[in-house]
Amino acid sequence: MAAEIVNPRSDSAPEPDGENSPLDSFDPAFALHRGGKMAVQATVPVRDRDDLSLAYTPGVAKVCSAIAEQPELVHDYTWKSQVVAVVTDGTAVLGLGDIGPEASLPVMEGKAILFKQFGGVDAVPIALATTDADEIVDTVVRLAPSFGGVNLEDISAPRCFEIERKLQERLDIPVFHDDQHGTAVVTLAALRNAAKLTGRELGDLRAVISGAGAAGAAIAKFLLEAGVGDVTVTDRKGIVSRDREDLTEVKRELAEITNRAGLVGSLDHALDGADVFIGVSGGTVPEPAVASMAPGAFVFAMANPNPEVHPDIAHKYAAVVATGRSDFPNQINNVLAFPGIFAGALQVRASRITESMKIAAAEALAGVVGDELSADYVIPSPFDERVAPAVTAAVAEAARAAGVARR
Protein backbone atom coordinates (compact mmCIF):
# COMPACT_ATOMS: atom_id res chain seq x y z
CA MET A 1 0.00 0.00 0.00
CA ALA A 2 1.04 3.62 -0.47
CA ALA A 3 2.78 5.51 2.30
CA GLU A 4 0.81 7.69 4.69
CA ILE A 5 -0.55 10.80 3.00
CA VAL A 6 0.01 14.15 4.69
CA ASN A 7 -1.88 17.28 3.63
CA PRO A 8 0.71 20.09 3.58
CA ARG A 9 -1.99 22.76 3.46
CA SER A 10 -4.31 21.71 6.27
CA ASP A 11 -2.52 23.72 8.97
CA SER A 12 -2.48 26.88 6.88
CA ALA A 13 -6.07 26.74 5.57
CA PRO A 14 -8.34 29.39 7.13
CA GLU A 15 -10.92 28.44 9.71
CA PRO A 16 -14.61 28.85 8.73
CA ASP A 17 -15.72 32.46 9.10
CA GLY A 18 -18.41 33.71 11.43
CA GLU A 19 -19.83 32.72 14.78
CA ASN A 20 -22.87 31.24 13.03
CA SER A 21 -20.90 29.00 10.67
CA PRO A 22 -22.63 25.62 10.31
CA LEU A 23 -19.23 23.92 10.18
CA ASP A 24 -17.84 22.16 13.23
CA SER A 25 -14.08 22.61 13.07
CA PHE A 26 -13.72 19.84 15.67
CA ASP A 27 -15.56 17.29 13.52
CA PRO A 28 -12.91 14.87 12.16
CA ALA A 29 -14.50 14.92 8.68
CA PHE A 30 -14.10 18.69 8.42
CA ALA A 31 -10.63 18.51 9.96
CA LEU A 32 -9.52 15.99 7.32
CA HIS A 33 -10.99 17.94 4.40
CA ARG A 34 -9.67 21.34 5.43
CA GLY A 35 -7.47 22.64 2.61
CA GLY A 36 -8.54 19.84 0.27
CA LYS A 37 -7.40 16.21 0.08
CA MET A 38 -4.87 16.39 -2.75
CA ALA A 39 -2.13 18.51 -4.32
CA VAL A 40 0.18 18.48 -7.37
CA GLN A 41 3.64 17.10 -6.70
CA ALA A 42 6.62 17.24 -9.06
CA THR A 43 8.29 13.97 -10.10
CA VAL A 44 11.55 15.65 -11.13
CA PRO A 45 13.79 18.02 -9.17
CA VAL A 46 14.21 21.72 -9.99
CA ARG A 47 17.19 22.51 -7.76
CA ASP A 48 19.35 24.70 -9.94
CA ARG A 49 19.76 26.35 -13.34
CA ASP A 50 20.58 23.06 -15.10
CA ASP A 51 17.46 21.35 -13.75
CA LEU A 52 15.34 24.33 -14.76
CA SER A 53 16.72 24.36 -18.30
CA LEU A 54 15.78 20.68 -18.71
CA ALA A 55 12.39 20.71 -17.02
CA TYR A 56 11.37 23.93 -18.75
CA THR A 57 12.93 26.07 -21.44
CA PRO A 58 14.98 25.36 -23.49
CA GLY A 59 14.99 21.59 -22.90
CA VAL A 60 11.22 21.19 -23.02
CA ALA A 61 11.15 22.53 -26.59
CA LYS A 62 12.93 19.43 -27.88
CA VAL A 63 10.29 17.19 -26.37
CA CYS A 64 7.44 19.35 -27.68
CA SER A 65 8.89 19.26 -31.19
CA ALA A 66 9.28 15.49 -31.08
CA ILE A 67 5.65 15.05 -29.99
CA ALA A 68 4.49 17.41 -32.74
CA GLU A 69 6.20 15.16 -35.28
CA GLN A 70 5.17 11.89 -33.63
CA PRO A 71 1.98 12.43 -31.56
CA GLU A 72 2.14 8.97 -29.95
CA LEU A 73 5.24 10.10 -28.05
CA VAL A 74 2.94 12.10 -25.78
CA HIS A 75 2.35 8.86 -23.87
CA ASP A 76 6.06 8.43 -23.19
CA TYR A 77 7.10 11.99 -22.40
CA THR A 78 4.11 13.43 -20.48
CA TRP A 79 1.81 12.17 -17.75
CA LYS A 80 -0.99 11.42 -20.25
CA SER A 81 -0.63 7.63 -20.04
CA GLN A 82 -0.85 7.69 -16.25
CA VAL A 83 -3.66 10.13 -15.51
CA VAL A 84 -7.46 9.98 -15.54
CA ALA A 85 -9.99 12.81 -15.54
CA VAL A 86 -12.70 12.30 -12.91
CA VAL A 87 -15.62 14.22 -14.42
CA THR A 88 -18.95 15.13 -12.82
CA ASP A 89 -21.76 17.65 -13.05
CA GLY A 90 -22.77 17.09 -9.44
CA THR A 91 -26.27 15.79 -10.21
CA ALA A 92 -26.17 12.37 -8.50
CA VAL A 93 -23.59 12.60 -5.73
CA LEU A 94 -23.48 9.61 -3.38
CA GLY A 95 -26.78 9.61 -1.51
CA LEU A 96 -27.01 13.40 -1.66
CA GLY A 97 -28.48 13.80 -5.15
CA ASP A 98 -28.18 16.99 -7.20
CA ILE A 99 -25.94 19.18 -5.04
CA GLY A 100 -24.04 20.98 -7.81
CA PRO A 101 -20.43 21.00 -9.00
CA GLU A 102 -18.82 22.84 -6.09
CA ALA A 103 -20.40 20.61 -3.45
CA SER A 104 -19.36 17.53 -5.42
CA LEU A 105 -15.65 18.38 -5.28
CA PRO A 106 -14.92 16.64 -1.95
CA VAL A 107 -16.25 13.41 -3.46
CA MET A 108 -14.26 13.87 -6.68
CA GLU A 109 -11.11 14.57 -4.67
CA GLY A 110 -11.84 11.42 -2.71
CA LYS A 111 -12.21 9.44 -5.92
CA ALA A 112 -8.89 10.80 -7.14
CA ILE A 113 -7.00 9.75 -4.03
CA LEU A 114 -8.58 6.29 -4.23
CA PHE A 115 -7.26 5.98 -7.78
CA LYS A 116 -3.79 6.78 -6.48
CA GLN A 117 -3.93 4.80 -3.24
CA PHE A 118 -5.38 1.60 -4.65
CA GLY A 119 -4.24 1.60 -8.29
CA GLY A 120 -1.23 3.89 -8.53
CA VAL A 121 -3.14 5.99 -11.07
CA ASP A 122 -3.06 9.78 -10.97
CA ALA A 123 -6.46 11.44 -11.30
CA VAL A 124 -7.73 15.01 -11.59
CA PRO A 125 -11.20 16.01 -10.34
CA ILE A 126 -13.16 18.09 -12.85
CA ALA A 127 -16.55 19.45 -11.76
CA LEU A 128 -18.45 21.06 -14.64
CA ALA A 129 -20.90 23.96 -14.31
CA THR A 130 -23.39 22.51 -16.78
CA THR A 131 -25.91 19.68 -16.81
CA ASP A 132 -26.45 19.76 -20.56
CA ALA A 133 -25.33 16.42 -22.00
CA ASP A 134 -23.92 17.84 -25.22
CA GLU A 135 -22.05 20.61 -23.37
CA ILE A 136 -20.50 18.02 -21.05
CA VAL A 137 -19.46 15.88 -24.01
CA ASP A 138 -17.96 18.81 -25.90
CA THR A 139 -16.09 20.02 -22.83
CA VAL A 140 -14.59 16.62 -22.06
CA VAL A 141 -13.58 16.12 -25.70
CA ARG A 142 -11.70 19.43 -25.58
CA LEU A 143 -9.97 18.42 -22.33
CA ALA A 144 -9.15 14.89 -23.50
CA PRO A 145 -5.65 15.55 -24.96
CA SER A 146 -4.39 15.94 -21.38
CA PHE A 147 -5.66 12.56 -20.16
CA GLY A 148 -5.28 8.84 -20.76
CA GLY A 149 -8.81 8.04 -19.65
CA VAL A 150 -12.09 9.54 -18.45
CA ASN A 151 -13.97 8.36 -15.37
CA LEU A 152 -17.51 9.74 -15.34
CA GLU A 153 -18.79 10.09 -11.82
CA ASP A 154 -22.09 10.91 -10.13
CA ILE A 155 -23.96 12.02 -13.27
CA SER A 156 -27.68 11.33 -13.08
CA ALA A 157 -29.52 8.89 -15.32
CA PRO A 158 -30.53 8.80 -18.08
CA ARG A 159 -28.06 11.48 -19.21
CA CYS A 160 -25.12 9.43 -17.98
CA PHE A 161 -25.83 6.75 -20.61
CA GLU A 162 -25.91 9.27 -23.44
CA ILE A 163 -22.80 11.09 -22.24
CA GLU A 164 -20.75 7.92 -21.95
CA ARG A 165 -21.84 6.64 -25.34
CA LYS A 166 -21.12 9.91 -27.16
CA LEU A 167 -17.76 10.37 -25.47
CA GLN A 168 -16.58 6.89 -26.37
CA GLU A 169 -17.69 7.46 -29.97
CA ARG A 170 -15.59 10.63 -30.19
CA LEU A 171 -12.54 9.67 -28.12
CA ASP A 172 -9.89 7.00 -28.54
CA ILE A 173 -9.21 6.70 -24.80
CA PRO A 174 -11.19 4.69 -22.24
CA VAL A 175 -14.43 6.24 -20.97
CA PHE A 176 -15.92 4.54 -17.92
CA HIS A 177 -18.96 5.53 -15.86
CA ASP A 178 -18.05 3.98 -12.52
CA ASP A 179 -21.52 4.22 -11.00
CA GLN A 180 -22.63 1.83 -13.72
CA HIS A 181 -19.75 -0.43 -14.58
CA GLY A 182 -17.70 -0.46 -11.39
CA THR A 183 -20.75 -1.53 -9.43
CA ALA A 184 -21.55 -4.19 -12.01
CA VAL A 185 -18.03 -5.65 -11.97
CA VAL A 186 -17.88 -6.01 -8.19
CA THR A 187 -21.42 -7.40 -8.07
CA LEU A 188 -20.57 -10.07 -10.65
CA ALA A 189 -17.40 -11.02 -8.77
CA ALA A 190 -19.36 -11.53 -5.55
CA LEU A 191 -22.10 -13.41 -7.40
CA ARG A 192 -19.58 -15.76 -9.04
CA ASN A 193 -18.15 -16.71 -5.68
CA ALA A 194 -21.57 -17.03 -4.05
CA ALA A 195 -22.60 -19.44 -6.82
CA LYS A 196 -19.35 -21.36 -6.45
CA LEU A 197 -19.81 -21.62 -2.70
CA THR A 198 -23.30 -23.08 -3.09
CA GLY A 199 -22.49 -25.35 -6.02
CA ARG A 200 -24.50 -23.50 -8.65
CA GLU A 201 -23.77 -22.08 -12.08
CA LEU A 202 -24.57 -18.52 -13.13
CA GLY A 203 -26.91 -19.87 -15.76
CA ASP A 204 -29.02 -21.49 -13.03
CA LEU A 205 -29.77 -18.20 -11.30
CA ARG A 206 -32.71 -15.85 -11.56
CA ALA A 207 -31.77 -12.41 -10.24
CA VAL A 208 -34.00 -9.50 -9.25
CA ILE A 209 -32.59 -5.97 -9.29
CA SER A 210 -34.34 -3.23 -7.34
CA GLY A 211 -33.52 0.00 -9.15
CA ALA A 212 -33.49 0.82 -12.86
CA GLY A 213 -31.11 3.77 -12.74
CA ALA A 214 -27.50 3.85 -13.85
CA ALA A 215 -26.28 1.05 -11.59
CA GLY A 216 -29.34 -1.16 -11.97
CA ALA A 217 -29.38 -0.98 -15.77
CA ALA A 218 -25.64 -1.67 -16.04
CA ILE A 219 -25.75 -4.58 -13.61
CA ALA A 220 -28.65 -6.15 -15.48
CA LYS A 221 -26.90 -5.98 -18.84
CA PHE A 222 -23.60 -7.14 -17.40
CA LEU A 223 -25.04 -10.13 -15.57
CA LEU A 224 -26.78 -11.29 -18.73
CA GLU A 225 -23.55 -10.82 -20.69
CA ALA A 226 -21.78 -12.97 -18.09
CA GLY A 227 -24.33 -15.77 -18.45
CA VAL A 228 -26.81 -15.32 -15.59
CA GLY A 229 -29.98 -17.23 -16.45
CA ASP A 230 -32.53 -14.44 -16.08
CA VAL A 231 -32.65 -10.94 -14.64
CA THR A 232 -35.75 -9.01 -13.63
CA VAL A 233 -35.44 -5.26 -13.02
CA THR A 234 -37.90 -3.27 -10.93
CA ASP A 235 -38.45 0.44 -10.43
CA ARG A 236 -40.83 2.40 -8.20
CA LYS A 237 -43.81 1.23 -10.27
CA GLY A 238 -42.90 -2.44 -10.29
CA ILE A 239 -41.37 -4.87 -12.75
CA VAL A 240 -39.87 -3.36 -15.90
CA SER A 241 -41.80 -5.36 -18.48
CA ARG A 242 -42.76 -5.00 -22.12
CA ASP A 243 -46.43 -4.42 -21.33
CA ARG A 244 -45.75 -1.14 -19.53
CA GLU A 245 -46.39 2.05 -21.47
CA ASP A 246 -44.62 4.44 -19.09
CA LEU A 247 -41.04 3.29 -19.74
CA THR A 248 -38.18 5.58 -20.71
CA GLU A 249 -36.00 4.63 -23.66
CA VAL A 250 -33.43 3.05 -21.33
CA LYS A 251 -36.08 1.02 -19.54
CA ARG A 252 -37.65 -0.07 -22.81
CA GLU A 253 -34.26 -1.44 -23.84
CA LEU A 254 -34.04 -3.25 -20.50
CA ALA A 255 -37.51 -4.71 -20.97
CA GLU A 256 -36.41 -6.24 -24.29
CA ILE A 257 -33.48 -8.19 -22.79
CA THR A 258 -34.60 -8.91 -19.21
CA ASN A 259 -37.54 -10.64 -17.51
CA ARG A 260 -37.52 -13.71 -19.72
CA ALA A 261 -40.01 -15.27 -17.31
CA GLY A 262 -42.54 -12.61 -18.34
CA LEU A 263 -43.33 -11.49 -14.81
CA VAL A 264 -45.57 -8.50 -14.08
CA GLY A 265 -46.42 -6.75 -10.85
CA SER A 266 -44.42 -5.58 -7.86
CA LEU A 267 -40.93 -6.21 -6.50
CA ASP A 268 -42.47 -8.58 -3.96
CA HIS A 269 -43.90 -10.68 -6.80
CA ALA A 270 -40.56 -10.69 -8.63
CA LEU A 271 -38.77 -11.98 -5.52
CA ASP A 272 -41.05 -15.00 -5.16
CA GLY A 273 -38.75 -17.95 -5.92
CA ALA A 274 -35.84 -15.73 -7.02
CA ASP A 275 -32.26 -16.84 -6.37
CA VAL A 276 -30.67 -13.39 -6.11
CA PHE A 277 -31.73 -9.97 -4.83
CA ILE A 278 -29.59 -6.98 -5.81
CA GLY A 279 -30.59 -3.66 -4.28
CA VAL A 280 -29.35 -0.40 -5.78
CA SER A 281 -32.35 1.78 -5.05
CA GLY A 282 -32.84 2.30 -1.32
CA GLY A 283 -36.11 1.74 0.47
CA THR A 284 -36.99 -1.34 2.47
CA VAL A 285 -37.93 -4.79 1.21
CA PRO A 286 -40.56 -6.43 3.44
CA GLU A 287 -39.35 -9.52 5.29
CA PRO A 288 -42.08 -11.77 3.81
CA ALA A 289 -40.78 -10.93 0.32
CA VAL A 290 -37.26 -11.97 1.34
CA ALA A 291 -38.66 -15.14 2.91
CA SER A 292 -40.34 -16.01 -0.40
CA MET A 293 -37.03 -16.27 -2.25
CA ALA A 294 -35.60 -19.65 -3.25
CA PRO A 295 -33.75 -21.70 -0.63
CA GLY A 296 -30.08 -20.73 -0.40
CA ALA A 297 -30.69 -17.33 -1.97
CA PHE A 298 -28.21 -14.45 -2.19
CA VAL A 299 -29.12 -10.99 -0.88
CA PHE A 300 -26.93 -8.12 -2.05
CA ALA A 301 -28.55 -5.07 -0.41
CA MET A 302 -26.23 -2.25 -1.42
CA ALA A 303 -28.03 0.97 -0.50
CA ASN A 304 -26.07 3.21 1.88
CA PRO A 305 -26.28 3.86 4.74
CA ASN A 306 -29.44 1.75 5.09
CA PRO A 307 -29.47 -1.53 3.11
CA GLU A 308 -32.76 -2.48 1.48
CA VAL A 309 -32.66 -5.64 3.61
CA HIS A 310 -30.86 -5.44 6.94
CA PRO A 311 -28.32 -8.27 7.25
CA ASP A 312 -30.00 -9.53 10.43
CA ILE A 313 -33.15 -10.15 8.39
CA ALA A 314 -31.34 -11.39 5.29
CA HIS A 315 -29.37 -14.01 7.20
CA LYS A 316 -32.60 -15.70 8.25
CA TYR A 317 -33.26 -16.76 4.67
CA ALA A 318 -30.14 -16.25 2.52
CA ALA A 319 -26.99 -18.32 2.12
CA VAL A 320 -24.88 -15.27 1.24
CA VAL A 321 -25.47 -11.66 2.27
CA ALA A 322 -23.60 -8.60 0.99
CA THR A 323 -24.08 -4.86 1.48
CA GLY A 324 -22.45 -1.61 0.50
CA ARG A 325 -21.29 -0.98 4.06
CA SER A 326 -17.83 -1.56 5.49
CA ASP A 327 -19.10 -2.68 8.91
CA PHE A 328 -20.68 -5.88 7.55
CA PRO A 329 -18.97 -8.78 5.72
CA ASN A 330 -18.93 -8.81 1.91
CA GLN A 331 -18.84 -5.10 1.10
CA ILE A 332 -19.69 -4.41 -2.55
CA ASN A 333 -17.32 -1.47 -3.02
CA ASN A 334 -16.41 0.06 -6.39
CA VAL A 335 -12.88 0.74 -5.18
CA LEU A 336 -12.27 -2.96 -5.74
CA ALA A 337 -12.70 -2.41 -9.47
CA PHE A 338 -12.04 1.01 -10.96
CA PRO A 339 -8.39 1.55 -9.90
CA GLY A 340 -7.25 -1.76 -11.37
CA ILE A 341 -9.44 -1.46 -14.45
CA PHE A 342 -7.96 1.91 -15.36
CA ALA A 343 -4.44 0.82 -14.40
CA GLY A 344 -4.72 -2.13 -16.79
CA ALA A 345 -6.23 -0.05 -19.57
CA LEU A 346 -3.57 2.65 -19.24
CA GLN A 347 -0.79 0.09 -19.06
CA VAL A 348 -1.55 -1.09 -22.60
CA ARG A 349 -2.86 2.28 -23.85
CA ALA A 350 -6.28 0.82 -24.53
CA SER A 351 -8.63 2.83 -26.72
CA ARG A 352 -11.69 1.72 -24.74
CA ILE A 353 -12.86 -0.58 -21.96
CA THR A 354 -14.73 -3.52 -23.48
CA GLU A 355 -17.23 -5.93 -21.96
CA SER A 356 -14.57 -8.64 -22.03
CA MET A 357 -12.21 -6.41 -20.03
CA LYS A 358 -14.89 -5.86 -17.39
CA ILE A 359 -15.67 -9.57 -17.20
CA ALA A 360 -11.94 -10.28 -16.85
CA ALA A 361 -11.82 -7.78 -13.99
CA ALA A 362 -14.72 -9.52 -12.23
CA GLU A 363 -13.14 -12.95 -12.67
CA ALA A 364 -9.80 -11.72 -11.34
CA LEU A 365 -11.47 -10.06 -8.37
CA ALA A 366 -13.38 -13.24 -7.56
CA GLY A 367 -10.18 -15.23 -7.91
CA VAL A 368 -8.43 -13.24 -5.19
CA VAL A 369 -10.68 -14.94 -2.61
CA GLY A 370 -9.43 -18.37 -3.67
CA ASP A 371 -9.56 -21.16 -1.12
CA GLU A 372 -10.60 -18.75 1.63
CA LEU A 373 -14.12 -18.65 0.19
CA SER A 374 -16.92 -18.67 2.79
CA ALA A 375 -20.38 -17.18 3.29
CA ASP A 376 -18.79 -14.16 4.96
CA TYR A 377 -16.02 -13.87 2.39
CA VAL A 378 -17.18 -13.93 -1.23
CA ILE A 379 -15.46 -10.65 -2.08
CA PRO A 380 -12.05 -9.40 -0.88
CA SER A 381 -11.44 -6.31 1.21
CA PRO A 382 -10.48 -3.08 -0.57
CA PHE A 383 -7.33 -3.18 1.56
CA ASP A 384 -6.26 -6.58 0.24
CA GLU A 385 -3.03 -5.75 -1.59
CA ARG A 386 -3.62 -8.57 -4.09
CA VAL A 387 -6.70 -6.91 -5.60
CA ALA A 388 -5.32 -4.12 -7.80
CA PRO A 389 -2.43 -6.16 -9.31
CA ALA A 390 -4.79 -9.03 -10.14
CA VAL A 391 -7.38 -6.78 -11.78
CA THR A 392 -4.74 -4.73 -13.60
CA ALA A 393 -3.09 -7.79 -15.14
CA ALA A 394 -6.41 -9.37 -16.15
CA VAL A 395 -7.69 -6.16 -17.79
CA ALA A 396 -4.44 -5.59 -19.69
CA GLU A 397 -4.49 -9.15 -21.03
CA ALA A 398 -8.16 -8.87 -22.01
CA ALA A 399 -7.48 -5.57 -23.80
CA ARG A 400 -4.81 -7.25 -25.91
CA ALA A 401 -7.16 -10.14 -26.69
CA ALA A 402 -9.91 -7.69 -27.66
CA GLY A 403 -7.60 -5.80 -30.02
CA VAL A 404 -7.96 -2.45 -28.25
CA ALA A 405 -4.43 -2.35 -26.79
CA ARG A 406 -1.83 -0.18 -28.49
CA ARG A 407 1.25 -1.60 -26.81
Q: Is residue 308 part of a domain?
A: yes
The answer on 156 and 199 residing in a single domain is no
Last residue of a domain, one of 150, 173, 196: 173
Q: Is residue 19 part of a domain?
A: no
Mean pLDDT, 10 residues at a time, the chain of 407 residues: 51 55 72 89 94 95 97 95 97 91 97 96 98 98 98 94 97 95 97 98 97 94 96 96 92 95 95 97 94 98 93 97 95 97 98 97 98 97 96 98 96
The answer on 301 and 158 residing in a single domain is no
The answer on 377 and 325 residing in a single domain is yes
pLDDT at 305: 87
Q: Is residue 28 part of a domain?
A: no
Last residue of a domain, one of 151, 173, 195: 173
The CATH number of whichever domain residue 403 belongs to comes to 3.40.50.720
The answer on 394 and 284 residing in a single domain is yes
pLDDT at 15: 58
pLDDT at 304: 87
Asked about 377 being catalytic, the answer comes back as no
- Binding site feature residues: 153-154, 179, 304, 333
The answer on 163 and 188 residing in a single domain is no
Asked about 111 being catalytic, the answer comes back as yes
The answer on 127 and 255 residing in a single domain is no
The answer on 185 and 293 residing in a single domain is yes
The answer on 213 and 322 residing in a single domain is yes
pTM: 0.91
Of 37, 111, 166, 358, the catalytic one is 111
pLDDT at 22: 59
- Binding site feature residues for (S)-malate: 304, 333
Could you give the number of structural domains in the chain? 2
CA dist., res. 128 & res. 89, Å (int)? 5
The answer on 241 and 282 residing in a single domain is yes
The answer on 184 and 165 residing in a single domain is no
Q: Is residue 4 part of a domain?
A: no
Of 56, 62, 237, 316, the catalytic one is 56
- Binding site feature residues for a divalent metal cation: 153-154, 179
The answer on 191 and 163 residing in a single domain is no
Q: Is residue 42 part of a domain?
A: no
pLDDT at 380: 97
Q: Is residue 5 part of a domain?
A: no
**Using omega within 30 degrees of 0 as the cis cutoff, is the peptide bond preceding 158 cis?**
yes
Last residue of a domain, one of 152, 173, 194: 173
pLDDT at 2: 45
Q: Which domain holds residue 143?
A: 76-173
Q: Is residue 9 part of a domain?
A: no
